[in-house]
Structure 1
Amino acid sequence: MLNKRISLIALGMLSATQAMANDQAESKGFIEDSSLKVLLRNAYINRDYKDGNPDKAEWGQAAIGTYSSGFTQGTVGVGVDAFGLYALRLDGGKGRSGAGGIDFFKQGDSGNAADDLSRFGGAVKFRISNTVLTYGDQMPALPVLNYDNSRLLPESYTGTLITSKEIKDLELNAGRFTAESRKSAEGRDSGGLKSINVLGGSYQFTEQFKAALYASDVEDVLKKQYVNANYVFPIAKDQSLTLDFNGYRTKLDDSYVRENGVTGDDNKIWSLAATFATGPHSFTLAHQRSTGDSNLGYAYGGYQRGQNRVGDGGNTIYLANSYWSDFNAEDERSWQLGYGLDFSAFGVPGLSYNVAYVRGDNITTSTSEGGTEREIFNQFKYVVQSGPAKDLSVKVRSSILRVSQKSSEYNVSGNELRVFVDYPINIF
């Protein structure tokens, strides 16, 4: 079982032969290495749905405080991490809250979104050499368990995670989490997760080539495997070609299939992206393909809110063609053309622009085959470079998504606008 394999690899991590500098030996102390940061975030999302679906929008102000101590000195270092989150709803509601894809503030039994919400969490951590064991409330960022921080407040998980970097260029991770905190709700276990085991690692083979393998097991829901290979071809000064392959294989649990009325239990999805960078410009061509017999396509998501939300984090989709739509339907094939521009070369450091066009076809639903969807994505981002507002960022992104009638069971057409203003403050 994956749980037993996690225990074995944990022992291997702790007993690995030291092959690089000992981080714990260089510890400055619990207080000396500590930090306290606050992120002020103002976020707005508006979705203008088509085909008669009601529009949705949410707007809120959040404060996200994170404290990370250093480690005590000695063979075994001890430390703590903690966070405190608060969000205030700024819009008037007007029946436009409650979209699953926005989910700033969870709706109550009355159907109204909460006026505000707060959440706190903490974890204790231990370090031996270059291996860290953390137990408590965390925000894991792994290909098979990745918390969602792309809305007003982040998700979090409660459990144990071991991260080992004993061997140069090799990172290993093993963990078990038994509670999930929804980004839009209070409480430590608001996500409906029973447990998830994660195991895997990444290795930097050369300066140009890196690869990763991961696996997860969400209790009574699914088992998932992930593979990545990334290679950078240097061409000339300020020129390179990057090839990035990502793939997932998902097997749904029989009980989940029965209880949720799902057809089929297997999905394989992969993407291959080629990005040519020259000076301030980047050009991307990507292909993504989903196969298997599950009508969910590639299933992922931060909480069990019906189909396609399975408890492994709202960002657990390391695939090229994921914008508003994820282009992850059953049998779907999609192509992307993308372009990026860094305005630093034109005297405006901190300003960047990205645009992408993605088209998917061959979508299968319970009533049709051969459905299509297409999306035009645009994003401007500016980061203040100096002065009192240094590091403040403004991100404005929009998507135009059109879905064919054949694919209406899978997705819905609409126009989306997101405006995020983030101001990180380092207290110490």
Structure 2
Amino acid sequence: MQLSRKTLLALTIAASTSAPLAMANQAESQGFVEDSHLKFLTRNMYWHHDYHTYHGDDVDRREWGQGFRLDYTSGYTQGTVGFGVDASAYGIIKLDGGQGHSGRAGVLVPEGDGTAATASSAGANVKMRISNTELKYGNNLRPYNPVFAASDLRLVPGTVTGLWLTSNELEGVSLEAAHLTAAKDFNSTNSDDDFFAAYAGVGTDTADFVGGNFSITDQLSASLYGSEYADIWRQYYGNLNYSYPLSDSQSLNFDFNIYQTDDEGKKLAGEIDTTAYSLAAAYTIGAHTFKVTYQEIDGDQPFDYLGLGPGTFHDSIYLANSSQLVDFNGPNEKSYGAFYNLDFASYGVPGLTFGVRYIKGTDIDGSDVGNGAYSYYATADGEEHWERDVDIKYVVQSGPAKNLSTRVRWATHRISGGDDSWDGDADQVRVILEYPYDIF
């Protein structure tokens, strides 16, 4: 699938002219100022990552920072075609992250001497809406889907530059497409970076995607997406999700995800032919959810996905066993997971949630990985590894501190086989305090 500018233009025209009866959104516009919103978010994050034996070195990384985000979203001018703007300002204050301890975490903005800096940045988009179809252009876009998901898991989010179209003309169908030309990572102030294949470490200045989500019935939904990272890969994604209610307090859920990735153009990451898929089955009874997962990588290269800068990883991996520290995405890898989640609202503590999971990966085989960007997997031969994650979060439900959240995430990863050339033993703790405030 060639995701060219012509493809995006065709989708824009089709979406804008379809379903003339669905004019509700733009027809209900109250105006540029009247529908505008200003929101403020403050986020404090402490990140301690002990790599133990990462590439043969003991690496202990600790970063602590305070992030600020101010988001202005205008309404749309009235009429058949509405126009508006979005603008954001971002700030990061370094609280801890001196020389010898900063880096790799991606929380703070790195300096050239190995230290981290206090920094700020800003971005804006112009936007146009017809009916239920919206087109944005600017350097502050935040797409989030299975093939291109800019993460918001650090002090400030990653953002990208380009054109982004979303359309909801038909009930139960949401479509989107984008042509993107530059990126700003969550630990950067430069909005002109490349897009990266995160595990390959190679970049491109052009990324495109197209796809959508479809509600087939009240219980069954599907997603289809395709993307192209110029001269690196073309990637295709499919999902089926089915929920079956057993009673008012019990339900089953089944979730299937699959990716196909093939090299493209100049093959900057080398040859790629990888199919990755996962299946998750969850049982919920009252406040408790139990889930088991299976994931498999069919291919001699790992499953790779988006980075917005060298050495960072974003969220364009919807596979069931992608975890806090590792993704269980090595060449030919199989992995199995068990999850448990508890919502304490049923026990008189609304806002408190707890989760734990354990995942084991086996049969990693990089013997045929080739000489491309993934050649560091060549020594992997049957290694096994596991990860254990614990996550607890509390959100204040009322009073002056309403919506203030505190979250602690603790992860442990261990590998057997004595090979740390592609991964290694590590422990990580994240503590996140977040407070959102709607100014108007």
**Range of TM-score over shorter length:** over 0.9
Q: Which amino acid aligns with 1:229?
A: L
Q: Which amino acid aligns with 2:289?
A: S
**Is 2:199 the counterpart of 1:197?**
no
Q: Hey, what's the Cα distance between the residues in 1 that align with 2:263 and 2:432?
A: 35
**Is 2:183 the counterpart of 1:180?**
yes
Q: Hey, what's the Cα distance between the residues in 1 that align with 2:29 and 2:378?
A: 58
Q: Hey, what's the Cα distance between the residues in 2 that align with 1:167 and 1:228?
A: 20
Tell me the residue number matched to 1:93.
98
Tell me the residue number matched to 2:396.
384
Tell me the residue number matched to 1:62.
67
Q: Any conservation in 1 of the 2:47–2:107 contact (CA below 8 Å)? A: no
- Once the two structures are aligned, what percentage of the paired residues are identical? 39
SS in structure 2 of the partner of residue 45 of structure 1: strand
SS in structure 1 of the partner of residue 407 of structure 2: strand
Q: Deviations over 1:340-369 (max 9, x none)?
A: 000001110000000000000011231231
Q: CA deviation at 1:15?
A: 1.1
1:100-115 superposed matches below 5 A: 102-114=105-117
Q: CA deviation at 1:221?
A: 1.8
- In the superposition, the TM-score normalised over structure 2's length comes to 0.91
Q: Any conservation in 2 of the 1:141–1:147 contact (CA below 8 Å)? A: yes
**Structure 1: tracts of 5 or more residues without a match:** none
SS in structure 2 of the partner of residue 121 of structure 1: strand
1:311-390 superposed matches below 5 A: 314-323=314-323, 324-364=325-365, 365-390=377-402
Q: Hey, what's the Cα distance between the residues in 1 that align with 2:137 and 2:31?
A: 20
Q: Hey, what's the Cα distance between the residues in 2 that align with 1:304 and 1:118?
A: 17
Q: CA deviation at 1:32?
A: 1.2
Which of 5, 9, 30 matches 1:7? Answer: 9
**Is 2:226 the counterpart of 1:231?**
no
Q: Which amino acid aligns with 1:375?
A: E
1:1-400 superposed matches below 5 A: 1-3=2-4, 4-20=6-22, 22-51=24-53, 52-99=57-104, 102-114=105-117, 116-136=118-138, 137-191=140-194, 193-253=204-264, 255-257=266-268, 262=270, 264-294=271-301, 297-305=302-310, 314-323=314-323, 324-364=325-365, 365-400=377-412
SS in structure 2 of the partner of residue 11 of structure 1: helix
Q: Hey, what's the Cα distance between the residues in 2 that align with 1:381 and 1:394?
A: 6
Q: CA deviation at 1:145?
A: 0.9
Q: Hey, what's the Cα distance between the residues in 2 that align with 1:282 and 1:366?
A: 39
**Is 2:436 the counterpart of 1:424?**
yes
Q: Any conservation in 2 of the 1:329–1:410 contact (CA below 8 Å)? A: no
Q: Any conservation in 2 of the 1:395–1:421 contact (CA below 8 Å)? A: yes
More divergent stretch after superposition (10-19 vs 141-150):
10-19
Q: Deviations over 1:102-135 (max 9, x none)?
A: 1122433322222x11110000111101100111
Q: Hey, what's the Cα distance between the residues in 1 that align with 2:363 and 2:262?
A: 22
**Structure 2: tracts of 5 or more residues without a match:** 196-203, 366-376
Deviation >6 Å, runs of 4+:
none
Instruction: Give the 3 Å change call, closer, same or farther, for CA 125–362 of structure 1 in structure 2.
Output: same
Q: Hey, what's the Cα distance between the residues in 2 that align with 1:269 and 1:405?
A: 24
Q: Hey, what's the Cα distance between the residues in 1 that align with 2:272 and 2:180?
A: 23
Q: Hey, what's the Cα distance between the residues in 2 that align with 1:198 and 1:19?
A: 28
